[in-house]
Chain A
Amino acid sequence: QKEVEQDPGPLSVPEGAIVSLNCTYSNSAFQYFMWYRQYSRKGPELLMYTYSSGNKEDGRFTAQVDKSSKYISLFIRDSQPSDSATYLCAMSADRGSTLGRLYFGRGTQLTVWP
């Protein structure tokens, strides 16, 4: 079983739609959960991160972590064409256990059309 599972899509939505991106994982030691956004021909950039369970909101973006289900989500409200990118989930365990190694999902390719 892979450490992190993420549906690669592609996902295509109209402008203004609510987008839901998800990942599941198998390692209960993961404590830090991140979402990276990667535009075409660019490297990934950190979009949001959450420690342990709960929700975190930043503008149109909301990250949710459910550790009991080993399931994380990223919601994008009022999606814009500029949100078109590949979204990668990533997670890591505490300092000292994996040397801070990040485990990535495959990434979900999102297209928001006007």
Chain B
Amino acid sequence: ETGVTQTPRHLVMGMTNKKSLKCEQHLGHNAMYWYKQSAKKPLELMFVYSLEERVENNSVPSRFSPECPNSSHLFLHLHTLQPEDSALYLCASSQDIGSGLGYTFGSGTRLTVV
């Protein structure tokens, strides 16, 4: 692993389910991010946290709810998702939210909404 661990690796959920994605980083970084990666589309930034405080919510629907209890852990709570939400969800961390260099990504959670 790269220092950023995501669980689960795969998730299949129904549209009425509630589930959570977990991300953990062991790099001592202060910033953490959630990205969505869909086929044939650029990575979409969803949320940015700096020192456990959310600093950006990129117009993400409320059915996605992030939580950052400390600087090492990041969650993405999911409820009443739609099939078009099926994608690879990537967590990343960086030392700070400065120049954008030095992002470390996890391996992602492959989400399928049925």
Contacts and interface: CB of A to CB of B under 8 A. Distances in A.
Pair from one complex? yes
Question: Mostly helix, strand, loop or mixed at chain B's interface?
Answer: loop
A7 to B, nearest CB: 11
Interface stretch (A13-21, A61-69, A102-110): A102-110
B98 interface: yes
Could you say which of B90, B100, B104, B106 has the most chain A C-beta atoms within 10 Å of its C-beta?
B100
Interface residues of A, number: 32
Interface in B74-101: 90, 92, 94, 96-101
Contacts, number: 73
Interface stretch (B12-20, B38-46, B60-68): B38-46
Interface string B99-113: 111111111101000
B48 A99 contact: yes
A93 B106 CA distance: 23
A101 B42 CA distance: 14
Interface of B: 2, 4, 6, 31, 40-43, 45, 48, 55-56, 90, 92, 94, 96-108, 110
Interface of A: 2, 4, 6, 8, 31-32, 34, 41-46, 49, 88, 90-96, 98-107
